[in-house]
Structure 1
């Protein structure tokens, strides 16, 4: 009988929640456990639709992981930064610009932020197929747990959300599930992320750690953590903070969902800024599951949706010129933080063209 004892991992001690008064976004809280019944899915589909239309962000609770299980994942997430030497990180560095893939380390100083400052953000990315490439020694004995974490995110969080979104569009429930296969060729992955900065860099970048942007996948799953730094741009053009909710997940829409829904559900603009005063001595450790349609999915609107037909479809390019998910993710990944941006028509907006589609960055 296999042992039930998990490998030892040092406990990661997170920062206490901020006590400062911040202007938080008023996000919906979706109880995903209610999706187990027909009645529950009918009600949740309405809640998800309103959440995506109002903010493009919402919380998910009762997702099947206990507080202890979530804590264990954060313990594991700290290891690529605290228990791997700089020389070993170089061995497992990603090749984003060359391959358009984030697998491996995104090392510090890779992205240009602003004012001549390069980023200090470090992250380690693991494809849902954890065998796709090698990993630092400290993570190898933990790969079975990371694989199970991928499956939990995919089947117990992503797929129920995709069914609710399809239902909100009056489409068969598995419409989006069918092009987000777990075993298909694609780049859906777990990301562990660590943010440090210096005061000099804060001044040069006006306290912005990561400019306003949209994610390029369909749905981003962020496991809530206490250091306040994430902000969204509301429909009214105001930046609002995302509040930490213990053992909750923060979900947001990205470019791929925007393409597939003809602009009905837009990718939400968000940024990362300097935390409030009482949290500035703490590292900000993030755990994400970035999801994308299968690589061969062509990003054209689901024009068969009665909802989209009534609302009107906004295409970002002609259907004949629409990129596949593979083309879009590779274009966005290789260009991000590396390409020269032009000033857009809107104040504080920079832009670039990727695969014939205009991409905006909010400074």
Structure 2
């Protein structure tokens, strides 16, 4: 990544760390450097399995990128927002509802959050096949670096983690890797995302929630840790707890597709984004992500041959005959998110039905 020949771009300065006494989730730290040996992978698989059963989120360290390379990624991540005029953003906006794809921009005020308030979030999404769409002028010199970043996340982070997920279910190591081909037809993608501060009126109407509690729809979500303390997970005891920032760490969770494929053993993790603590208000929250999904043609049915599932039982979200493909699931979830009228189902829980499967949201 960083070298003398790379394009010169402004350096992004993140918000300072909060000094507020927040309640943080006590997450497991997975040291990916151990994954080079089978013995190391066996130990990591046990750690990952326990982390998934306890919290559904974990950190990854020693993934292979330096702090300087990390900072370069965040410099690049800010370009779609700070260096692209609003009119050009509109020209590259995705037709999300019609296509079921986030590729391109999701502009602000597209998702309904609550109380008649819409989001103040922009994101720019780039398929790992960076040639699928044209990109804004300011991003074009940086596309080779973004492609390298996508490939790194897919092959050097995702695939090693998928081997651990498989070992945790006593399946052959390549079970999940084999359905996450880098060159296969699919939608795993890089997302650069920026949350902007909101008015006090909007905060009041939404009870300070910026993005209501939800699950991701893919297999594994990779968030490059950043300092604005807004991300919370719903802990097993019913409390929302913050995720603490660790320099150059990854924050990883499972989504719906992993829930389907693992027969409910690795549950999709419920998380939300709220207003930052007082000493970080006024700052934007810039994120760099890699959202992963199986190949589009994969039918989302459990790997019932897992000895673990045979012991603990399978929890299906639908009958196997009715299970969607990954393509159908991602398109259905993407088209509906923030656009449909959700039905209240108990205190703080709303529901919708996608491809015949109930999807819950927490507000």
Query: Would you call these one fold, judging by a TM-score over 0.5?
Result: yes
- SS class of match (2:246): coil
- SS class of match (2:241): strand
Deviations 1:250-300 (A, max 9, x none): 000100000001111100000000000000021100000000000000000
Residue aligning to 1:8 = 8
Say whether 1:252 aligns with 2:264.
Answer: no
Matches within 5 A, 1:153-172: 153-172=153-172
How much has 1:205 moved relative to structure 2? 0.5
**1 CA distance for matches of 2:102 and 2:130?**
13
Residue aligning to 1:199 = 200
- SS class of match (1:221): strand
How much has 1:4 moved relative to structure 2? 4.5
**2 CA distance for matches of 1:239 and 1:26?**
12
Residue aligning to 2:238 = 237
Matches within 5 A, 1:1-363: 4-196=4-196, 197-344=198-345, 346-363=346-363
What is the number of residues matched between the two proteins? 360
How much has 1:347 moved relative to structure 2? 1.0
**1 CA distance for matches of 2:267 and 2:347?**
20
Deviations 1:111-167 (A, max 9, x none): 100000011111000000011001000000110000000011011110000001101
Q: Provide structure 1 residue ranges, at least 5 long, that are not aligned to the other structure.
A: none
**2 CA distance for matches of 1:261 and 1:64?**
28
**2 CA distance for matches of 1:242 and 1:198?**
24
How much has 1:303 moved relative to structure 2? 0.4
- SS class of match (2:299): coil
**2 CA distance for matches of 1:115 and 1:349?**
15
- SS class of match (1:105): strand
**1 CA distance for matches of 2:289 and 2:61?**
16
**2 CA distance for matches of 1:311 and 1:133?**
44
Q: Provide structure 2 residue ranges, at least 5 long, that are not aligned to the other structure.
A: none
**2 CA distance for matches of 1:184 and 1:329?**
16
Deviations 1:208-247 (A, max 9, x none): 0000000000000000000000000011111000000000
- SS class of match (1:282): coil
**2 CA distance for matches of 1:49 and 1:103?**
32
**1 CA distance for matches of 2:265 and 2:218?**
16
**1 CA distance for matches of 2:206 and 2:165?**
37
**2 CA distance for matches of 1:39 and 1:314?**
30
Deviations 1:23-52 (A, max 9, x none): 000000000010001110110010000001
- SS class of match (1:142): helix
- SS class of match (1:141): helix
Q: What's the RMSD between the two structures over aligned residues?
A: 0.7
Deviations 1:94-126 (A, max 9, x none): 111000000000000101000000111110000
- SS class of match (1:316): coil
How much has 1:200 moved relative to structure 2? 1.6
**2 CA distance for matches of 1:218 and 1:38?**
23
**2 CA distance for matches of 1:4 and 1:323?**
47
- SS class of match (1:191): strand
- SS class of match (2:291): strand
